[in-house]
Amino acid sequence: MGSVAEIVETEEINVTQVRRLMRLTLLTPAVVEQLVGTSETALEQLMRCPWPTAWKEQIRVLAPPA
């Protein structure tokens, strides 16, 4: 896809949802691994919240060690 508009048209979802989904590409792999088994509700909440851009901070905030 060449633009958000193309994704919106092809996937038939609204631009806000596309932008939220695109932000997920900025997450560290460790956080993504934790999100794989997460409910849609938890994922939707995460997509609506700001998170750090630095991967080290993302791990500290979003995927702290158990």
Domain residue limits, the chain: 4-62
Tell me the per-residue pLDDT of 2-33, one tens digit each, with 9 for 90 and over: 999 999 999 999 999 999 889 999 999 989 88
Percent of the chain with pLDDT over 70: 98
Q: How many CB atoms lie within 10 A of CB 27?
A: 20
Q: How open is the CA angle 25-29-33, to the nearest 5 degrees?
A: 105
**What average pLDDT does the chain have?**
89
pTM: 0.72
Q: What is the pLDDT of residue 66?
A: 65
